[in-house]
Structure formats: C-alpha cells, structure tokens
Structure 1
Amino acid sequence: MIAMAGRPLGPDDPVRVGAYRLESKIGEGGMGAVYLGRAEDGRRVAVKVVRPELAGDPAFLARFHDEAVNAERVASFCTAKVLEHGEDLGLAYLVTEYIEGPSLLQHMNRQGPLTDGMVHGVAVGVATALVAIHRAGVVHRDLKPSNVLLSLTGPRVIDFGIARALDVAVSHTRTGQVVGTPGYIAPEQVAGQEVTPAVDVFAWGCLIAYAASGHNPFGRGSFEIMIARSLHAEPDLGALTTAPLAGLVRRALAKDPRSRPSAQDLLLELVGGVSDSAVSTTLHQAWDEPPAEPPPPPPEPDGPPAEPKGSQAGSHAPPSSGAAPHPPTEVGRSEPTHPPTQAAGVLRQEQAAADRAPQPGRGARPQGVPQTEPGQRTGTGPWPNPVPQATPDHHAGSRQPDGQGSPPASVRRRRTAPLLVALAVAAVVAAGGAAAYMATRGSAKHSNTAGGTTGSAAPAFPHETMLVRQDTAPGWPQKCHARIARYPTDATAAPSAVTSGSCDMLPAYTPDMRRFSFIRRTGGGNQLWTADADGGNAARLVGKVGGGRTAWSPDGGRIAYFAPDDAGVDQLFTVTVADGKSTQLTTDRARKGDPSWGPSGRIAFFSDASGENQIYLLDPQRPDQQPVRLTRDDVFAKDPAWSPDGTCLVFTRGAYPHGEIWIMGADGSGAHRLVGSSEHEMDPVWARAGGWVAYTRGPYATPVVRAVRADGSGDRRISPPGSSLAHPSW
C-alpha cells in the first residue's frame, strides 16, 4: 500500500478544526485545503476546510451546509461517507471518512491503462456508487479519475457533496462559468440545460474509456476544444476492446441525455454480462503494486490536471484550480448498508427471498386504467396536443429484456464468488436500488427504488418526528381550530404544539428539516408562514395564498404555492424565502393546487385542465412550456408527493369520501393502488429515507394518521388514541 502522503502543516494552517486534530496537509484546490485529521477516538478522517473568501459568501455558506446535510444521508458503500460539517473559529469545514489508496488518475500515471478485469471492476464499482448517490437524490456533477479512489475494498467515489454550493459562488463571481472538468462535462451541462443524473452517466463513460486506454475519448486540447468535441464529436473508445462494455460506454456517451442508460441500468448490465476472467484479478491485485517492469508513463490525461505531488494517494484532494473550479455535488438521503464481510450472504438471502416472494396483489392495474404511453395526452383542455413526454426526476427502473420488472433470471442465478460483484449488488439491494423491482400484475410496472423494499429486506418503520395539524376543537373543515404540532412517531410522547395560531395547517418541512412552512388562516384569508423546526422565529412570508399545500425547492431557497390571480383563479407561484419575491408560473383558467417539488426541480400539482382533477408536471425554469399530464384515467386525483429519490409519486385518487392512496412512476406509468379501504384516504407524504408513506384516513372531522410501506405492506395507525391529527409532514 502507498505510504501516508501529505506534507507538514505550515504556519498558516490550522492545527485543530472542531473536534479534529490536524496532522498534515493532503492537498489544496479550488474550494480550499484538505487535511489528514484525527477524531477524538483516534480514527483518521479527511477534513476539508473552505477558503476564507468562500466562507465569507453567505450564499455559498448556506448552500454548503444544506448540501452537507444531504450528503450525510448518502449510502457509504463505494463512496467516502460524510461524517460532520460545521464552522469553527471562522472556518467552514466538512469531515469525511478517510480512504487510503491511490486515485485512478495517480494509478494510471504510474502504471498505465488498466487490464480488462480491472477496467470492469472500476466500471462496476463506480456504477454502484452512482446508484447510491442518485438513489439519495444527488447528482455528482464532477466525476473524473481524480475523484475515484482505488482502495482495497474496491473503487470509491469521493467529492459528491458540495458541487452545487461552489456552483452558487461561481455564478456570483464568474458569469457564464461552467463548473466541471473538460473531457467529462456532458453536453447539456455546457448548454446550460437542466442537470440530471444523466450527466454522471456521461462522465462514467468518459472515465471508463480513459481507464482502458489512458486517453480521454474526446482527445486532448484547450478547454474550448474539449467542450466543442463533447458537443459535436464522436468519442474514440480506442483500447476498450471488451465488446459488451464498449457498447455500454458508447450508450453512456450519447449526446441526448434521454438516450443514456441510468446508473442502475449500467450496474445491471455490468453484473449480468461480467465474466469470471474479467473480475478474477479485480481485488486480488493491489492497485498500487508496481509491475516488474514499469511501462513508460502515459501522456498527461486529457482534461483533469494532475493532482498535487505528495497528496495522500489523491484520496481526498479538493477540486483543482484552473479555468474552472472542479467541485463535488448536491445530495440526498441514505439507506442502511450491510457490512462488506456479510455482503455475499446477504445477497444470497435477498435473491432467495425475492425468488420465493409472490407478487403483491395491490400491484394490479385496476380495470379502467388505460394502457397509455408516458407523456400521452388524453382528455381536453387549454393545453394543446401533443404534450411533451414526461422526464422522470431521476431515472426510473429500467425494464428487463424478459419484460418483467425484476432482473433477469441469469442475473439472479449468476455466481457471486467475485467479491466486487457481490459487494456491488448487495450494496444496491441494501440501498433499495437497481437489483430489485416491484412487478405489478399485467403489464404495468415501475421501479420500487423509492420504496426501499427488496425481497425480504423490508424497510423498518422510520421513527422520525413528524409535523401534523392537530385539531384543538371539533368543526373541521367548516370551522378551523388547529395548530401545528410535532409528534414522535414511536409514540413515546404526545404531540407538542409548535405554533400558536387559531387555525394553522398544512406544515411542510424544508429538505434539511431545520424549518417548515405552513398556512395560517385569519379573518383576512390564508397566509404563508415559515418557522424554525421548533416553532421559533415564525414569520409571515406571503400575505394572500390559496388554502392548499406548499412545497420547498430542493435547495430550500424557494417555496411553491398557489394563490388567486386578479380573476380569482388559483395560479402556481414560487417565492424566494430570502427576499419574499414571488414569481407567477401559470396563467391558464384551470383549477389547480397541491404543489410537490421534486428532487431535480419539477413541480407536480393537480389541475382540472382536462375537465377532471389530474396530476401534471411543470418545470419552473421553463414556465413557457406546457405542463405534462401524468395521470390519464380521468379519475379525480390530487395530493401528489414525490418520493425522496424522484423515481415515483404517491397521490390521492378518488374524491371525498372515496379517496385511495395510489403510486405511480415518475413518468406516470404503472399507476396502482397502494392503500384503499372503506374510509377516505388522503394527504400522502414520504418518509425522509423513502420506503414508507404516511397518510390520513377517515372523515374530515375525525382524521387519523397512518403509515404504510411503499409495497403496500405494514399498514398501521400512528396517531395516538383520542387525538385528531392530519396533514402529516415526515
């Protein structure tokens, strides 16, 4: 193994940050410096300290901490786990797990291109990391060889936690600046289009081609030349000779992001097509073990500059400086993972359970739900045909060649002896990712990644504090006597009030759960308010709104709401929390409400534009485009709620008093009932980590909050006896 790298601390370097003692300086880059540190229990950690000029930028600092909170929830398998973040003595810092091992860039600079088996191992490991990152609602944005560490336990992807924060700072100081690394930037990033997980798939293709040949598939040259080639030139895969992998890389490098496979597609195809010979040396050969006769070093890699000499195996080097900073990324939620030593056994148990498990009856497509293509328009209304096809907030589960929603039998039966493959698949299973799908009866199916239920590994009930509307006197909805209360769903305490209004309702947590919004009804109408999680610092944000839900943007900077226009028709607005400035997004005459802001930026809501309430999607960055209709059966629908990973939505189907909770894919496919009873159900909301959905059941006057797994199992009451709770926010 490479010896510990780094250089002694200088006179300007801190010796302690927070609870961590700093021992050496690993590297320095566009965001700041990275240090090798020691926790109080002796563990080695990497401490990233932000440059003072960035730490003084309020926009950067706010986004930095928000993204760090989300990064802490990313599953740690094949990544460097985020342990802590904070500020100390004027220094903003981020602490991650310390990974010992060279970066892919360093390894290739010393030893040249990888063998076929090692290339396949890197492809599998990095795809696994992307599945976990995307599962958490994150887009890395700057995947490149220096951000992949070759540890003894397999490839690890680092620096995925704060790219959006740095992007904010760059946008303030360098108009038109592209954040990323030439040769790895996807065409849509250059064109200023929406950043989705597809940009990481493009970078994955570039990275694997580089690992096989030592050359970027778009050659080498200036920033402008590399950008132009990524936009217009065909990639040169050169030494990538393994036919299945070459084909997969070529698909990953498609110019159109919609034509690329998802990360979970990559992983399934890699595991399904892997051969024993291709992986036999993946982990049995030390990454940094020099060959007997070292080959001449390859040319300097195209795009990413070499890492600083003496950096600790490149393992935690910050984004390097140059034409553009090269940061990591935005973030999301994590799932529990199995220890690596248990991975193969866990995988076998999961596979056996999945093979034995009957298909859930709730998954059947009820009669009357038409078999329509994603984005197909039915009904009539003010938005003309054709409606653009809906693009999922994140890639939904791919359909397999056998037409089923689960992996092919060949994948399930394949031998799991190669450690990397076993670890990769087990990690995806544990994260609720690509290795399991919920197949519904008939032809309707969608990915169940958001549900987190794979085989026998049903997600445990999330004991998280919930915000609810607590009725203090009867009369709802004709008379409102309500306040917002916090309720620990493990029933260890009674609901405790956090607001004091006479009619407060519809709470909605921020993504980091530090604040919430709610509607306050007074004699003058409905108002939009915000408050800290404990109810402190309550303040009115918008003086006149509709009576429906509100929804926070993924970055926590804006809130979507509905308010009447001059003609009295509710229109969709967003308001910037910092300055209270509102922007109107719709102008049509349809009735609408209940916004839900998805992880990649699209807002779902209901509208009766077709004559009956249906669920639609709108991109707030492109309000001139027509909303996309998701539900297509002309049955009353409202209350949409995005899953944390953006792969599906739950919603209320059926008008009072006959509502049921339904679930569908992000493109509207596979709609089926999740919960239905003789009582009315409404107001579904996801748990923070996915896997569970809370909802309200019963008459308006006496509601009860319940919860159910995303596969329809485990339905239970969580309201305490004798209480009247509704409008859950988990």
Structure 2
Amino acid sequence: MDGSQEWPAGPSAADPERVGPFVVEARLGEGGMGAVYLARAADGTQVAVKVVRPDLAGHPAFRARFHEEARNALRVASFCTARVLDHGEDGGRAYLATEFIEGPSLQQQLDTSGPLTGGTLHGVAVGVATALVAIHSVGLVHRDLKPGNVLLSRSGPRVIDFGIARALDEAAALTRTGQLIGTPGFLAPEQVSGGDITPATDIFAWGCLVASAANGRNPFGTGQVHVMAARALHADPDLGALTEPLAGLVRAALDKDPARRPSARDLLLSLVGADAAPPAATVVATDPGHPAAQHTRLAGPPDTAPPDAATHPSGGPAHAPTEPAQGRPQPWPEPATEPARQNVQQNVQQGGPAQQQVPRPYGEPAPHGAGQPPGPRPYGEPTRPAEPPPRPRRRSRALLAAGAAVTAAAVTAGVLYLVWPDSGDKSAGSANGFPRDALLVRIDTERGWPDTCHGDIGRYTPGAAAPVPLVTGPSCDMLPQWSPDRKRFAFTRWADPGASVYVGNANGTGVRWLASDLSGRSRVAWSPDGARLAYPVLVGRVRQFAVRPVDGAGTATTITTDPADKDDPMWSRAGLVFWSKREGTAQLYTLDPDRPTQPWKQLTTGDVPAGDPAWSPDGRRIAYTRGKDPGEIWVMNADGTGGHRVTTGAENESDPSWSPDGRWIAYVRGPFTDSVVHAIRADGTGDRVLTPQGSLIAHPSW
C-alpha cells in the first residue's frame, strides 16, 4: 500500500551497475520498499536483488530492523519460498538478495487465464501453506501475503518478500504516518484494528489468497481502503466457487478471531489428508521481546498442553470466545456506514483497537461458553460433533509432518502444468531449462501501431514484471537487433518520409546515429563478426541491400541490383536470408554477401507469401512467417527442406526470433494494435505468453 513517489523507475543508465557483490543486469520491477533487479553473482548464478528506497534506508532504526529480519529470513527453508541469499549495504543502499524465481506471479496468472480449479488450486493452497510453515518456524510473519507475492515456478508455488514487511512497520512508526502495511483485501482484522501481528495474520491472508485463486476475485470484494478494512472486521467472506472440504479450511482461516484460526502446520496436515490436532490458542506478540512471546509456540511439538491450557503470563486464558454482540457479521455487499468508516480511519491513523464481532467457529453453532472452540476438521472429512481427539504422540506427529512434506512436494508439482507445460525440463538456468536471456523489444507507450508509432526500445527478461526502457523519447523506434556478442544493438528510427539506423550499447548508453539511407520501416542485420550491418536502401524505386561498417569508418556498399522488391534481411555464417518478390509472391532466398554476384538460392515456393526469416544460432534452421492475415510461424532446414508449422493458434503470427540456445522461438501473436509476445519450443510444444501484464511489446530479438 506504500505508494511512494520518491523512487521512480528510470532508464537503465540511472540504475546501479553493481549492488554489493552482484552485477545488475535488468530492473525487474518496483514495490513499496524499493526497486528489484535481476543480477548475477560471482559464480554466474542469477539472483533477485531488492534495493531499499533511500528515504527508508536513511533511518538507522529501519536499517537495523531490516537486517535483523533478513538474518532471520536466511534461516527459512527454501522449499516453496524464494531463498534469501545475502543482505548488506553498498554506498548507503541497503539490499536483500534472494534466488531468482522464474515464472509469473499468481496474480498475473489469474489476470491472464482466470480462476484456478481442481488439482492446480489445491497445489497452490498446499504450496503456500508449506511456505508459511517454513516462515513461521523461524519466528517470522510475512504480513503481506497475496497473489502478487506468490510466483508459479517450475518447482511449484514460491512465496516471496517474507521478512521485510516488519521493517516497513518500523518505518511507518518512525515517520508517524499511520500507514497501514499490507494490501486491502488481504489484511486480517487485527492488522486493521491495531492488534498483535501473529502467524495467524498470515493464515487469514492464506484464506483470502485461496478464495481469490478459486474465484478470480477477492472474497471481500473491491473498494476503497476504509471499505475493505470494514469488511475484514465485520463481513462474511464470499467463497464463491470454493467447494468442501477446501472451503471449510478457508472459512476457518478467515475467522475474525486469530486464536480460532488453524496454524500453518494444521492447514498443511489437513490439506494432505493427515489428522491435524486442534490449533493452539496462543498469541504471538509483535515484538519478540514482549513477555507473551516467551509463551508462544509457532509450530510446537505435539505434546504441549491442550488448547484450553494456553495462557498468558498472568495465568489467565489466552482467548475466550465471546457471543457475537450483534449476531452474524453482515455480508460484504452491504455498504459500510459512515460511523464505521470514521472508526476504521481513526484506528488506522492512531493504531487503536476496534470493537469487532466474532463469527461462530466454522462447522459449529455460535458458542455460549468460555471453552476453547474446536479446531478445523481434517481436509476431506465430513463435519462431526466436537469431541476431544486423542493426543498424538510425538513420534506419530513427526511422521505425519514428514509425510505431509512429501505429499506437499507431489501436490505442488502439479502446478507446473499450469504455466510450465515443459515440466520435464531441468531446472531454470540449466542447459535444458527455459532461457532467461533478455529479449530486445519495441515498447509501445501508446496504442496505434502501425498507423501511428509510439515506440521505444527496451530489454525484457522473461518472468520480469515489466520491460526495461533503453531508448526513450518522442521518436518512432523499432525493430531492435542484438549484435552477435550481445554487447550492442542496432535499431530503426523512422520519421516520414525516411528512416535511419542507430546503434547503442546493451545497457542503453552510447546510442548514436549510423546511417540515414534505410528504406522505410525495415530491419537491419548484423554480420556474424559484428563488424557490419546489412539493410535495405532505395535505389531508384526498388529496395536493394547495402552493407555498411558499424564503426562508421567506411561507406555503404550495395550488394544487389535486380529489379525485384526485397526486405527482412538476417545474416549468419550460412549467408543472408531475406524475402524477395522475384517470382511475384514474396518468397525466401539466401545469398552470400561477400560474393553477391553468385546465384541466389530459393528456399520457399508457391502462392503463399513468406517473410520475417530468422536464422537459428547454429545456422542450420530458419524460422519464418508463412502467410499473411493470418500468418503462421514455420521452421525449415537451411536448404529449404522440411518446412512445417510449429504454432497452432488461429490469430495472426509474425516476427519469429530464436533463443540463444536454439531451442525456443519468440514470436508475436494477435492484431498489431494489441499484439502479445509468445515463446514456443522449436518442436511446437510449450507455447507460453512472455508479455508481462500491463505492457505492450513487439518486435522481439532474442
């Protein structure tokens, strides 16, 4: 909820080149605490580095809390979480480094593909519960669990950004802003009312997350902060499509009273079918030094006292359920009254407690006594009358926990098929994993292409929240191309009636003009040694190909003279591939730029046009667009044999580009005004969207 404007995202040149021991490669995104970068460690491992905003890092108390929480986060088990690797300070910048998790967030998946169902939904529920067990076991509370903080990786759901929200609480206290840390719709009642923040706070957020994943909407609806806060305090959640028994667990997690919510361990054991003991009625103080914290069990042993024996240091009951003062809470569609709004705002500003109604425990009638309500029934079991369960022995409980961990691993693995249909690949970053190499792209700052152009040049790393702008401004920039060593790029800058060739360094610096004889909205092609560029020029009324040194020391040499129109050159050691209308319809040909007078080799024939050719890195295959409106992505051998389609979509497809490892092809699908960049294996499997939510990118060069 921190909408600070003191740390704006800027071009790559303004970002640090290094943070601590890590070399920065790209900006992944920005959050309430600061910017997040994709970086590389000394051993070549890619990591995500969060750099704290200067206004926060300037507070000594904040920095102390930040590093304290980071040290605790280092102890969190890595399964279902993004493992914390390092933390420190560099030039006054506080930073936290975690493993880089490849994959979209759960929120992005819901936005693009809708609600989850069946085993996929169950896998997310299990994976996030497993992460909470790991986080809570070292004394941490996430405080901002939400779909945007759950990444869908190859190994299943992974929870990120744990162990830092408490430092934001510290900053809010220091600045006396009264700022509420968290996200509306995922805030527990105690966060709204100024109560103790405990592991039960994360359990409430887990319930909101699972309900949101099942329905594609928050169980408390939408609205302004004060409306959502009031619903968290007083309204019944709308569980929508959730069915039993998962709905029962979510309902228990969303209990207004944190003492009645199950623990993360109980959730996990219930989800995987083990018999969970009733949750202990304990309070975890916000400050570990608080006396109550010394009597807290986050994930305690099975032979602790039964729930009704949990006490405060004074010896009194930790929580005694009370009769709801005004019956059942109002359903969330009811608008909050103005007094309720004022009360919530006052509590947010002053941190004071608020009166709240207590709903009945799930599966049971409203309580009338002071006894502790029973815990949730095991996942998969019908509702039964409350009866004291036998106390499990330490050994059997440990075996159940171990079995739950194994089952959790199996269940969360099912999530792979949601976003990563190629789950048989090795882990990301290996020779067979999905490439993390950045693509150059055209970033449309406004819609309108191709009638109007608002293009910038940017770099996009698959899985990042947004592309990184490299070349910005009012000009129309397009069709970027990596140099063979990926240290530079070239692109087209178009201005009616002509176009120019520009080159720049990989990080967006050193952009310079090279030539103004480029013919229209055409692309350029690097020579295999990176010393020359080939591109079309207008000779008379016909486009011909010219070759020019990149260092600007020489002039352009025209290498074709025939009367047929031609475009889209791409250069490899196997030659220059392009399309020409030599036979009337655009077809693909190759020629040797160093011996241009030799005959061309024709690769495609027929009445169906072919264009957008792209060499594979080894020069053995060519990807291209076959047809027009709609076009299709095809692949053939370098000699023109074995042509076949690799995509299956019905929409227009164009602009293929090979990944550096030669296993994947990026391409553009959809109408030009709303195109989406996809990636697909060269064998036609594993098609997936690369365009991040909220961005409009095209002209990929991988």
TM-score range, shorter chain: 0.3 to 0.5
Q: TM-score, normalised by structure 1?
A: 0.40
Q: TM-score, normalised by structure 2?
A: 0.42
Higher RCO (CA 8 Å, separation ≥ 6 residues)? 1
